[in-house]
């Protein structure tokens, strides 16, 4: 149960940090390009690589709960793109170029499709809802 609590707290901190960074960048640079999302995804990917190496592979001595709070909670809420990047990097490192390319194509294409489908479903639902109310 303690692990769930620290992961939740890490997630809350990551989500708040993402909001503050993204909002600040959009106010500073405008909304003509997804600067906020790009920055949190790139920074999150960097942190995922750095902290995975430090906390897991080099076994820096902190408790498992705190590793989970940082890697799963904070970075997971800050950006899920970091996990995608780490897994793709591992595929490349293992020499699985075709799997890495497939992961990139399916992840990006699938997410774009899912966003489109979600938008479409919402639009259709609202359209049907408005017809039902008339």
**pLDDT tens by residue, 13-42:** 999 999 999 999 999 999 888 889 889 989
Whole-number pLDDT of residue 132: 83
Which has the higher per-residue pLDDT, 124 or 75?
75
Pair of tokens at residue 112:
């774009």
CA separation for the pair 124, 7 (Å, rounded): 37
**What pTM, to 2 d.p., does this model score?**
0.72
CA 50 to each of CA 86, 105, 122: distance values in angstroms, whole numbers, following the listed order: 10, 25, 39
Pair of tokens at residue 93:
């490192």
- Looking up tokens 């503050």 gives 20
Whole-number pLDDT of residue 83: 76
CA separation for the pair 104, 37 (Å, rounded): 18
Identify the top-confidence range among 26-40, 53-67, 118-132. Answer: 26-40
Whole-number pLDDT of residue 1: 67
């Amino acid at each position: 149960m303690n692990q769930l609590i620290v992961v939740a707290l890490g997630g809350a901190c990551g989500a708040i940090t993402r909001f503050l960074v993204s909002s600040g960048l959009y106010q500073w640079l405008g909304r003509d390009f997804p600067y906020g999302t790009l920055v949190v995804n790139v920074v999150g990917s960097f942190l995922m690589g750095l902290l995975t190496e430090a906390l897991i592979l080099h076994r820096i001595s902190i408790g498992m709960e705190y590793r989970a709070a940082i890697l799963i909670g904070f970075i997971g809420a800050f950006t899920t793109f970091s996990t995608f990047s780490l897994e793709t990097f591992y595929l490349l490192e293992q020499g699985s170029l075709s799997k890495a390319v497939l992961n990139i194509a399916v992840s990006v294409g699938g997410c774009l499709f899912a966003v489109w489908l979600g938008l479409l479903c919402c639009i259709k639902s609202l359209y049907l809802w408005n017809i039902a109310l008339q």
